[in-house]
Structure 1
Amino acid sequence: MVPMIYSLYGFAIFFFIFWCAMWLIHLVAIFYGKYRLHNKPTAIDSDVPLPGISIIKPLMGVDPNLFTNLETFFTMNYPKYEILFCVEDDTDPAIMLVNSLMEKYPKVDAKLFIGASLVGVNPKINNMNKAYDAASYEFILISDSGIKMKEDTLLDMMRFMSDKTALVHQMPFTCDRDGFAGTLEKIYFGTAQSRIYLTADFIRINCHTGMSALLRKSALDDIGGLQAFGCYLAEDFFMAKAFTDRGWRITICSQPALQNSGICNVNSFQARLTRWAKLRVAMLPLFILVEPLSECMVIGAGASWAVNILFKWDVLGFYLVHILLWFICDWILLSIIQNGSLPFNKFDFVVGWLFRECSGPYLFLLALFDPEIRWRSRIYRLEWGGIAQEIKPRLKL
């Protein structure tokens, strides 16, 4: 009987400590986000020329926002850069769109590469490899097709690229979009995602996502270039890990990445979150335990039981106060990241926030019981450590 009581108190102490740690993460994200994000760039020394940047844009297919997104790369306020578009299939309709933009902006140095190199199972790496080999400059910006840029984004990213830094990346966020799916995306990336992302950057833990990342090419070449990461689907994580293992710094810039994909619905968004969860579990198995406990509803239930065991506090009252405070902190953090008026009212936020918090644990369980990764027309199986095997190869060379 006595060992059982000790075990009970041990679990209660664990839940309570984990709950306190989550609140510390909330506070760090809020204060660090306020300090780090949306800072005005310092004056640029005109006597020191800015280094050139090669922008690699892997493309596949066309969505309603692709033209608008790509056009923002032709109108950036940066003195020297090139845009290297990569298309795997010579029948891809994105080719026509890219050609029209190059004709519209003839003064911008832009090139189109058609056809992929087979250097691994990762289709993004295969698609980009030719452009990477042809890049003219020391710094490489890898940018997904759904990213929309501001005119000064390159300047913002470059000012964080110190001599000891190999990677500057943008924290994922979204453009303002109509509809419940757009609201849900903004809530997720402005709360659950950014809370962990900002805290990880503050304590210098690898949190890199590769949707918009500025790389030092010489540092990447020293570890084998892009092709060295062709065996992974989460090439961004392993690339950042390789940098930090060699003593390089990685950091976020002050502007979040503005995702603006033309496909915006709840099903595709949840499929994306499930795919990311599968990758995290394969790369870091500890997430099987940690990730569910980081969810508001789950850790709140555990902490409510814990404080009842330890302090005899009311379970329901504690749980409701926990949810309310978590909700308020998420609203504050989202407002900081938005840096302006939100495109929805407080009622929409309540509905979207509750939907996200309640569906999060379900999506994680779905990822555990269906480990195969489906990306566009391809299917992959992950091994522990993150190495991927393509089940149905469909690469056209």
Structure 2
Amino acid sequence: MGAIAFYVYSIYGVKSFFEEEIDINESFSPGISILKPLCGLEDNLRENLTSFIQQNYPQYQIIFCVRDVNDPVIILVQELIASFPEKDLQLIVCDRIFGYNYKASNLVNGLPHCDYDFILIADSDIEVKADYLKTIIQPFQEEKIAVVTCLYESIGNHLVSILESLNMSGNFIPRVITAKKLEGVKFAFGSTIVIRKKVLEEIGNFDQLINNIADDFLLGNLPTKLGYQVKLVNYIVTHHVGKETFINYLTRQIRWLKCIRVQRFWGYIGMIFTQGIATSTIFLCISNFKFFAFLLLIITYFLRLNLAYQVGIKYLKNSTCYQYLGLTILVDFINLYIWIKALFGNQIKWRDNEFIVNKDGELSKRC
């Protein structure tokens, strides 16, 4: 019953979220410093970075941050800088490491080169449209807004990308929108984080992230503890899913959920209601296939697939969702497995290292 209530409420929330219009004030265009932490070459990387360079916006800079002087991504960035001499593009190569989070180290090294009052962080696997900056900056016309973030859709041409796309449209996005309606936005996503520079300074700059795996979450959460607000805009960016094995996909998902569990335990427990197909199927089996349980299963299946259709096909128009919508059922069973695995222990594997995650999301090296 809890899953049915979640799906009904999510369908309502999704409709109101995606149909909300964003008013563009053309005269509001403050300067933006874009930080791009990079490590290695990825699928579609040139196109991703180029999409940020070619923005229909008057004043912005991009700072590409690389840690290893031998990283092949340096050559790509140099080529992009040469191709767009009219743009304010900088390459910062610095091997200083602060803590265990190398992405945070890149951000620490890049921050001194930011010239503007708004700092944008976006992961390297994100591609955007030309109106991106003009759109996401709009909420900052209200002084109480300290952070702007946005959702993303996943695309690719392999098994993991299919799972990511279906999970994103049928599970992740509805869950975020529901959380937004119930308790407000107290988080941010690596797909897009825009933060006022003065607020970043108030929370201790990127130094607060160097030993925390949930750096995206903290950049949204810490400002709310100071009384600021986070705005989730309905601008959807594209996440290009790199090739990886199914086992690596499971390991990554379990790692993320463990971090959620140690930081937001009750929110983690509530995720069980987002896996209605799996849980209602299990309930049908343990109830010895009673009619009431079968009826619940049919209602749950209908609502779950309807929710995935609304997000993935109606609003995102995601081609993967068009082709593989029926696999949403399989995704629910995989998510239940991941949820159960993440329920136990606080040990994670990240970048070939093993860590212990404490209740604040801080990492300590496992001996």
Counterpart of 1:349 in structure 2 is: 325
Counterpart of 1:249 in structure 2 is: 229
Alignment match of 1:382 (pick from 357, 361, 364):
357
Counterpart of 2:295 in structure 1 is: 317
- Counterpart CA distance in 2 for 1:336 and 1:221 is 41
SS, match of residue 211 in structure 2? coil
Q: How much does 1:41 deviate?
A: 4.9
Q: How much does 1:168 deviate?
A: 0.5
**1:149 partner amino acid:** V
Alignment match of 1:107 (pick from 77, 82, 86):
86
Counterpart of 2:26 in structure 1 is: 44
- Counterpart CA distance in 2 for 1:368 and 1:184 is 21
Query: What is the TM-score of this pair, normalised by structure 2?
Result: 0.90
- Counterpart CA distance in 1 for 2:167 and 2:318 is 17
**1:368 partner amino acid:** L
- Counterpart CA distance in 2 for 1:287 and 1:199 is 12
Q: Does 1:89 align with 2:68?
A: yes
Q: How much does 1:355 deviate?
A: 1.7
Counterpart of 1:151 in structure 2 is: 130
Render the CA deviation track for 1:117-163: whole Å, top value 9, x for unaligned.
44333221112101112210000010111011111111110012221
SS, match of residue 234 in structure 2? coil
Q: Does 1:31 align with 2:15?
A: yes
Q: How much does 1:24 deviate?
A: 4.4
Number of equivalences: 363
Alignment match of 2:151 (pick from 154, 168, 171):
171
Greater shift in the superposed pair: 136-145 or 259-268: 259-268
Runs of 4+ in 1 over 4 A off after TM superposition: 301-306
Q: Does 1:209 align with 2:189?
A: yes
Cα 1:232/1:28, change in 2 over 3 Å:
farther
Equivalent runs, 1:193-204 vs 2, <5 Å? 193-203=172-182, 204=184
Equivalent runs, 1:1-397 vs 2, <5 Å? 16=1, 18-19=2-3, 21-36=5-20, 39=21, 41-45=23-27, 50-161=29-140, 162-175=142-155, 177-203=156-182, 204-263=184-243, 266-287=246-267, 289-300=269-280, 314-338=292-316, 340=317, 342-343=319-320, 345=322, 348-350=324-326, 352-369=327-344, 371-391=346-366
SS, match of residue 124 in structure 2? coil
Residue segments in structure 2 that go unaligned for 5+ positions in a row: none
- Counterpart CA distance in 2 for 1:279 and 1:186 is 22
Q: How much does 1:217 deviate?
A: 0.9
Render the CA deviation track for 1:204-259: whole Å, top value 9, x for unaligned.
13242223111111011012111123231102222322211111110112211211
Identity %: 22
Cα 1:105/1:391, change in 2 over 3 Å:
farther
- Counterpart CA distance in 2 for 1:43 and 1:291 is 38
Greater shift in the superposed pair: 195-204 or 184-193: 195-204
Preserved contact between residue 185 and residue 269 of structure 1 (Cα < 8 Å): no
Residue segments in structure 1 that go unaligned for 5+ positions in a row: 1-15, 393-397
Cα 1:378/1:78, change in 2 over 3 Å:
farther
Render the CA deviation track for 1:356-389: whole Å, top value 9, x for unaligned.
1111111122223464322223332101221111
SS, match of residue 263 in structure 1? coil
- Counterpart CA distance in 1 for 2:233 and 2:95 is 31
Query: What is the TM-score of this pair, normalised by structure 1?
Result: 0.83
SS, match of residue 82 in structure 2? helix
SS, match of residue 265 in structure 2? coil
Q: How much does 1:19 deviate?
A: 3.8
- Counterpart CA distance in 1 for 2:283 and 2:330 is 21
- Counterpart CA distance in 1 for 2:300 and 2:320 is 26
SS, match of residue 185 in structure 2? coil
- Counterpart CA distance in 2 for 1:91 and 1:250 is 38
Preserved contact between residue 84 and residue 111 of structure 1 (Cα < 8 Å): yes
Preserved contact between residue 117 and residue 129 of structure 1 (Cα < 8 Å): no
RMSD: 2.5
Render the CA deviation track for 1:54-98: whole Å, top value 9, x for unaligned.
100001111231111111111111111111111111111111111
Q: How much does 1:40 deviate?
A: 5.9
Cα 1:370/1:156, change in 2 over 3 Å:
same
Cα 1:262/1:290, change in 2 over 3 Å:
closer
Cα 1:40/1:163, change in 2 over 3 Å:
closer
